[in-house]
Amino acid sequence: MAPYNIRWGIMATGWIAETFVKDLLRDPNVRGASDVSHTVVAVASSSSKSRAEKFISETGVPGSCAAYGNYEELVADPNVDVVYVATPHSHHFQNVMLALEAGKPVLCEKAFTVNAAQTKILCETAKKKNLFLMEAVWTRYFPLSIQVRDLIKNGAIGEVLRVIADNSFGEDVETKWGTEHRMVNKDLAGGCLLDLGIYSLTWVFQTLYHTLPREQRKPPSAISAHMALYHLTGADEATTVLLTFPTTTPSNLPNPGQSQAVAMTNLRVATDPAEDNSARPAIRIQGTKGEIQVDGPAFRPERYRIIPKKGHGDIKEVECPFPEGAKGMFYEADEVARCLRDGKLESDTLPWEESIVIMEVMDEVRRQGELTYPEKIESTVYPTVL
Ligand X SMILES: NC(=O)c1ccc[n+]([C@@H]2O[C@H](COP(=O)([O-])OP(=O)(O)OC[C@H]3O[C@@H](n4cnc5c(N)ncnc54)[C@H](OP(=O)(O)O)[C@@H]3O)[C@@H](O)[C@H]2O)c1
Residue 145 in contact with ligand X, rule: CB under 6 A: no
Residue 46 in contact with ligand X, rule: CB under 6 A: yes
Residue 22 in contact with ligand X, rule: CB under 6 A: no
Least distance from ligand X to the Cβ atom of residue 290, Å: 30
- Candidates 22, 49, 54, 110; catalytic one: 110
Residue 299 in contact with ligand X, rule: CB under 6 A: yes
Least distance from ligand X to the Cβ atom of residue 78, Å: 21
> How far apart, in whole angstroms, are the C-alpha atoms of residue 118 and residue 379?
8
Pairing of strands 290-294, 303-308: antiparallel
Nearer Cβ to ligand X, position 291 or 334? 334
Residue 366 in contact with ligand X, rule: CB under 6 A: no
Q: How many residues does the chain have?
A: 386
105 exposure class (CB count in 10 Å sphere: 0-12, 13-18, 19+): buried
Residue 38 in contact with ligand X, rule: CB under 6 A: no
Residue 45 in contact with ligand X, rule: CB under 6 A: yes
Residue 138 in contact with ligand X, rule: CB under 6 A: yes
Least distance from ligand X to the Cβ atom of residue 140, Å: 11
Residue 47 in contact with ligand X, rule: CB under 6 A: yes
The CA–CA distances, whole Å, from 201 to 283, 354, 380 equal: 11, 11, 24
Beta strands in 105-203 (DSSP E): 106-109, 133-136, 160-166
3 state SS of 42: strand
Write the interaction track for ligand X spanning residues 80-109; mark x where CB under 6 A is met and - where it is not. Answer: ------xxxx-x-----------------x
110 is catalytic: yes
163, 139, 166: which is closest to 269 by C-alpha? 166
Least distance from ligand X to the Cβ atom of residue 13, Å: 4
Nearer Cβ to ligand X, position 110 or 217? 110
Which among 39-47, 155-163, 247-255, 355-363 is the span making contact with ligand X, rule CB under 6 A?
Answer: 39-47
Backbone region of residue 205 per phi and psi (left: phi > 0; alpha: psi in -120 to 50; beta: other values): alpha
Nearer Cβ to ligand X, position 250 or 296? 296
Q: In sequence order, what are the residues at sequence separation of 6 or more whose Cβ sits closer than 8 angstroms to the Cβ of residue 282? A: 165, 166, 167, 271, 272, 294, 295, 296, 297, 298, 301
Q: Closest CB to ligand X belongs to which residue?
A: 14
Bridge partners of 36, per DSSP, are 4
Least distance from ligand X to the Cβ atom of residue 230, Å: 17
Pairing of strands 316-319, 303-308: antiparallel
CB 207 within 8 A of CB 262: no
Catalytically active residues are 110
Task: Write out the residues near ligand X by the rule CB under 6 A.
Answer: 12-17, 45-47, 51, 86-89, 91, 109-110, 136, 138, 182, 188, 195, 299
